[in-house]
Amino acid sequence: MDVQSFAAGFRDRAGSALSRRFGVDPRALAALRVSLGLLLLTDLYLRSRDLVAFYTDAGVLPRSVLREQFGGIALVSIHARFGSPWAVGLLFLVAGAFAVALAVGYRTRLATVVSFVLVVSLHARNPVLLNGGDSMLRRLLLWGAFLPLGRRWSVDALRRARDGARRETERSGRVASVASAALLLQVVLVYTTNAVYKLRGELWVSGEAILYVFNLDQLTVGLGETLAQYPALLRAFDRVWLGLLVTSVGLLLLTGWARAAFAALFVGMHLGMALTMRITVFPLLSIAGLIPFLPGVFWDAAGARVRESRLGEWLDETDAPARVAAALPNVRRRVPGGVRRLGRWASRARPPVVGGLLALVLVWNAAALGYVALPEDVSSAADPEEYRWDMFAPEPRTTDGWYVVPGRLESGERADVFHRRAVRWDEPPDVAASYRNVRWFKYMMDLRASAAEPLRPHFADYLCERWNATHEDDVERVALYYVEQPVRLDGPDPTNRVKMHEQSCGSA
């Protein structure tokens, strides 16, 4: 064998190995697309229940306060251009329409890009509410915009086939590109950086971290309340989860059924989080991020099962996908030559753009971990340590608690104007339920930080206006208390009242 033949064979083997590890099956991309569309709709619905409170000038963060406290973040928010409920509600409806388009794969790339823009805008409107799931959603949409999410199981694919275009729906090869590598690396980065943070703490290494997590009544619900009674089992979960995080690079190194089985372990742990903790769509978004790791052998087996099922028979008999495609406006249209040239230029520019974004993500995560120092002007504008994958790390919270907001009414009586009930200082029967939902919980927890002190008067003013709009006996003055309850694994948990703020109504 000559040198050239050897080199060519080596390149082919290396290319095949990289493709198997950094390529994504088109059916996995389709499943990711559907998942993102449905999760976007779910998230929009959950947020819409507090639209006035969190996204309008009548809520806890008026636009003037957003600009004053968060500076440039407000500039990237379309939602921050409007302060009235009807205008913000219209943006929610527009976002919902594009989420539906993404789920069904109609004008997929446009739907992905617009969904990404609107998600970034919504998140920037109230940064206090954000968690790791929101960061994951933004990143999945970002990398998805550079990938053929609509190649399979989509209206776009059906219309291309019907109109005689190249039948991409029949392709079975992997999508192997810089964008597919970026998508997979992004997910692994979340796990590996979180592992580094956890290893820097003591509770995760000692096996007691999950014990503290499941003793936080603020978060624990359902099955979690039962598991909290079995500390030995929780210590085992601690070891398993930390072990998975430390070895998460195996998601990239493994292939075939081994990769599918390893990804299934992560999926199982995230499902466990969904059943035991009040964190809404966060574990579901994490599961969506794992879908691209499922290899072709998994989708082949799943497809065979579907074809043999009643669903497969129904799809064959009714030709439902084609009927849906025919009912929607045609995606094919006459494209001017200039637009075609622009499209070809964009295709050529896509790899270096994605490569640059991926390099930025890698450097940013390294800076957040303290391994790389960013220029001073960059770190002063956006500190990477404030945007890091540190869920329950380096240590979980070891202090539980609940809010009490006593208000003095015109009649001289007192009432808790946050919970709209009589003032009660004792531990609620269900601490998690004392927060309306996860967004309220995140907001109230962040309100405790010293950096959030300027936000407290506006929260108090919001409570005053909300109470007075629905009660004849107006509230005149409110005080904001947090009842701390340090978690003790070997005895009763004490409590301590912390007064955070007090003001007369209308003085913010």
Q: What pLDDT, in 10s, does the model give residues 118-136?
A: 999 999 999 999 988 899 9
> How far is 146 from 184, CA to CA, in rounded Å?
13
349 and 416 both lie in a single domain: no
- Is the pLDDT at 186 greater than 70? The verdict is yes
264 and 182 both lie in a single domain: yes
Which of 167-181, 244-258, 360-374: highest mean pLDDT? Answer: 244-258
- Is the pLDDT at 137 greater than 90? The verdict is yes
**Nearest to residue 176, comparing CAs of 8, 302, 28, 297?**
28
- Is the pLDDT at 386 greater than 60? The verdict is no
187 and 91 both lie in a single domain: yes
> How far is 263 from 250, CA to CA, in rounded Å?
9
> How far is 461 from 467, CA to CA, in rounded Å?
10
pLDDT at 153: 87
Residues 405/483, Cβ–Cβ less than 8 Å: no
- For residue 24, what are its two tokens? 């994504």
357 and 439 both lie in a single domain: no
pLDDT bin (cut points 50, 70, 90) of residue 7 is very low
pLDDT at 163: 61
Q: What are 332-364's pLDDT values in tens digits?
A: 555 455 545 555 666 676 778 888 888 888 887
Where is the domain boundary, 353, 368, 383? 368
Residues 157/168, Cβ–Cβ less than 8 Å: yes
Residue 344 domain-assigned (yes or no): yes
96 and 12 both lie in a single domain: yes
Residue 295 domain-assigned (yes or no): yes
Q: What are 265-300's pLDDT values in tens digits?
A: 999 999 999 999 888 788 999 999 999 999 999 998
297 and 408 both lie in a single domain: no
Burial of 442 (0-12, 13-18, 19+ CB in 10 A): middle
Preceding amide of 492 cis, omega within 30: no
Which of 71-75, 267-271, 279-283, 385-389: highest mean pLDDT? Answer: 267-271
339 and 471 both lie in a single domain: no
- Is the pLDDT at 96 greater than 50? The verdict is yes
Residue 352 domain-assigned (yes or no): yes
pTM of the model: 0.89
**Nearest to residue 155, comparing CAs of 391, 350, 352, 322?**
322
Residue 353 is part of which domain span?
7-200+247-368
Q: What are 442-493's pLDDT values in tens digits?
A: 999 999 988 899 999 999 999 999 999 999 999 999 999 999 988 887 766 7
SS3 state at 355: helix
pLDDT at 201: 87
Where is the domain boundary, 368, 391, 423? 368
408 and 362 both lie in a single domain: no
Lowest mean pLDDT among 187-191, 224-228, 249-253, 416-420: 224-228
Residue 311 domain-assigned (yes or no): yes
Residues 228/215, Cβ–Cβ less than 8 Å: yes
Show contacts of 51-54: CB within 8 Å, 24+ apart: 51/85, 51/88, 51/89, 51/92, 52/85, 53/462, 54/125, 54/126, 54/129, 54/439, 54/443
363 and 407 both lie in a single domain: no
**Nearest to residue 296, comparing CAs of 159, 140, 152, 186?**
152
Q: How many CA atoms lie within 13 A of 12 on its CB side?
A: 6
Torsion over CA: 183, 186, 188, 191 (sign): negative
> How far is 360 from 354, CA to CA, in rounded Å?
10
424 and 347 both lie in a single domain: no
Residue 167 domain-assigned (yes or no): yes
- Over the chain, what is the mean pLDDT? 84
Residue 218 domain-assigned (yes or no): no
Residue 195 domain-assigned (yes or no): yes
Residue 396 domain-assigned (yes or no): no
106 and 13 both lie in a single domain: yes
274 and 405 both lie in a single domain: no
Q: How many domains does the chain have?
A: 2
Instruction: Report in angstroms the alpha-carbon separations of 325 from 36, 113, 173, 330.
Output: 20, 22, 24, 8
Where is the domain boundary, 368, 393, 423? 368
